[in-house]
Amino acid sequence: MNFKQLYDVSLPISNMLAVWPGDPLVEIQRTSEISQGATVNLSRLVMGSHTGTHLDAPNHFIEGAGGIDQVALTALVGTAQVVELKLNHHIGAADLLDLKLPTGTERILFKTSHSAHWQSNLATFQEDFIALAPDGAQWLVKQGIKLVGIDALSVERFDAPEEYPVHKILLGANIVIVEGLDLDKIEPGEYTVMALPLKIKDGDGAPARVLLAR
């Protein structure tokens, strides 16, 4: 692959990184330090499986479904459309129809105002992010989308009902969900996306390093 430019759209994981309310806080502790006479620098990491930029596995919301180690690799790497939506409401089917996506689009990444939030304050969780509406999720399923990414920590609105329809619609259709992207410096258009999560056996999700290339 000959790419002119690679873009890292992952959030840096640190003790200060905001997490979804109720999720484990990030704890990175240096357990061995060369400066203190040790042979190596070594750290202990404690964090939730949905920390920072991460992928959701089907079993995150669907009991008995596949884990993150079983997600099809062919969905994680390939051509993606980055679309910028300047909305004050959640993304519905009508908004997606207006995008006039190229025929055959299989992966879509949503850039909203939340990407700018990551630039100003990684430590603060923002509740009023733009998410995907249920009818928008259903539209994506009908279009044969394989991967959906968004810059907020969830593809579903903060005050979602307990049945979490958006997640269940997407994951039930084996659509990969990528959350917590930093798309602030990414112009809309076509890219190659590489979204590779940690290979956690039967994991309900995993942090990922996500790259865009063109």
Which residues, in sequence order, are bridge partners of residue 42? 32
Query: Which residue type does 74 have?
Result: T
Return d(Cα 59, Cα 62) in angstroms, integer.
5
pLDDT of residue 3: 85
pLDDT of residue 2: 80
Q: Over the chain, what is the mean pLDDT?
A: 97
Whether residue 1 is predicted with pLDDT greater than 80 in this model: the reply is no
Among candidate residues 143, 134, 157, the one with its CA nearest the CA of residue 108: 143
List the structure tokens of 173: 């259709």
89 noted as active-site residue: no
Q: Active site residue: 54, 60, 90, 114, which one?
A: 60
pLDDT of residue 147: 98
The pLDDT tens digits for 16-29 are: 999 999 999 999 99
Domain with residue 75: its CATH number is 3.50.30.50
The pLDDT tens digits for 44-82 are: 999 999 999 999 999 999 999 999 999 999 999 999 999
Considering the domain boundaries, does residue 60 fall inside one? Answer: yes
Q: Chain-centre distance of CA 135, in angstroms?
A: 20
Q: Specify the 3-state DSSP secondary structure of 174.
A: coil
Considering the domain boundaries, does residue 1 fall inside one? Answer: no
Q: Is 95 exposed, middle or buried (0-12, 13-18, 19+ CB in 10 A)?
A: buried
User: What domain range includes position 84?
Assistant: 6-213
Tally of domains in the chain: 1
Considering the domain boundaries, does residue 202 fall inside one? Answer: yes
